[in-house]
């Protein structure tokens, strides 16, 4: 089954992850994370399957994250509230996100991709 690969084409980390997938012949469907921002429901599903806390899905180095003081907004937020904030703007989401419907990776670390997506 092909991965769903949420990415932003101008993101260097996304480009590295995409190259890794191509070099290792992993098939994927690329989804532009800003033009097609995942819904709150999709984000909650990704959080659930990733075994990561919801705050790990935030692009903490992003301009928008800092400008809108998201750190304060999510300090005591529930997963539902955090997913709603993430779904409001794709630039707030840490990228890339890859999923096969069962497993989810957030960001790109070669060893994690190797472990997770190398069949």
Whether residue 34 is preceded by a cis peptide bond, meaning omega within 30 degrees of 0, is: no
Percentage of the residues of the chain whose pLDDT score is greater than 90: 97
Low-confidence stretches of the chain (pLDDT beneath 70) = 119
Domain edges within the chain: 3-117
Q: In the numeric block, which tokens belong to residue 81? A: 């509230």
Q: Which of 7, 25, 4 is nearest to 16 (CA)?
A: 7
pTM of the model: 0.94
Q: How many whole angstroms separate alpha carbon 116 and alpha carbon 111? A: 8
Q: For residue 119, what pLDDT is reported?
A: 67
Helix, strand, or coil here: 104? Answer: strand
Q: Which residues pair with 4 in a beta bridge?
A: 29, 99
As a CATH number, domain 3-117 is 3.40.30.10
Q: In the numeric block, which tokens belong to residue 36? A: 């097609």
């Amino acid at each position: 089954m092909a991965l769903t690969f949420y990415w932003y084409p101008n993101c260097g980390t996304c480009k590295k992850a995409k190259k890794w997938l191509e070099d290792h012949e992993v098939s994927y469907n690329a989804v532009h994370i800003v033009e097609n921002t995942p819904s709150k429901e999709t984000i909650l599903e990704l959080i659930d399957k990733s075994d990561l806390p919801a705050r790990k899905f935030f692009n903490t180095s992003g301009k928008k994250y800092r400008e809108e003081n998201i750190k304060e907004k999510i300090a005591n937020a529930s997963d539902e509230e955090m997913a709603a904030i993430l779904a409001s703007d794709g630039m707030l989401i840490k990228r890339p996100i890859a999923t096969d419907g069962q497993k989810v990776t957030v960001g790109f670390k070669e060893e994690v991709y190797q472990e997770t997506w190398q069949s």
